[in-house]
Amino acid sequence: MKRKKLELFCLLVFVSSGCGGSVNNDSSITREDRAEIIRLSLERALVDQEIPDYALIQDPANIVLSTANIDADLVPVLPGINLILLTREEVQDKADREGDFLYLEFTDITVESDTRVMVSLDNTWAAPKDSEKAYLSGGGFAIEFAKTAGSWIGVMVQEWIS
């Protein structure tokens, strides 16, 4: 009975965290702006190590980033970090082959105007299909970006752990 409750709880957390993802492809910002927002978000997560449970990432020099909800061409090069770009299906295949690991995914990018964008980035577990483990770690953050005097400035407005 406890296991069923735990599985239900984990499912609710997964669903409420935006697992389906959403991206507002509003064209009111340029590709350059989108690239800059992605870069700034990833730098905060990985270079500044602000993503929740960063310390649990097995190999911080090689980070799996899901391409769900983003254009892979806009992903930057980060100093000292090899970003491994995979589709959701490829993330699952890797977990099935190699076992559990944390990966990053942009779960929400909402363009509210040409000077305001909300971003959610998750650090979540990929597990083999036959895994019976339930993880209560990982998490993510939400950043509100505002463009002021030609530069994007981000303020973390929410942070969560699983």
DSSP letter for each residue of 90-103: HHHHHHHHH--EEE
Q: Which helix (H) or strand (E) holds 126?
A: strand 116-126
Amino acid at 23: V
* Contact (CB, 8 A) for 106 and 119: yes
Q: How far apart are CA 145 and CA 142, in angstroms?
A: 10
Among 149, 65, 141, residue whose Cα is nearest residue 104 = 65
Residue 41: Cβ within 10 Å count: 26
pLDDT in tens, 26-79: 568 999 999 999 999 999 999 999 999 999 999 999 999 999 999 999 999 999
Question: Please, which pLDDT band fits residue 17 given cuts at 50, 70 and 90?
Answer: very low
Q: What is the pLDDT of residue 7?
A: 41
Q: What is the pLDDT of residue 23?
A: 55
* Contact (CB, 8 A) for 125 and 110: no
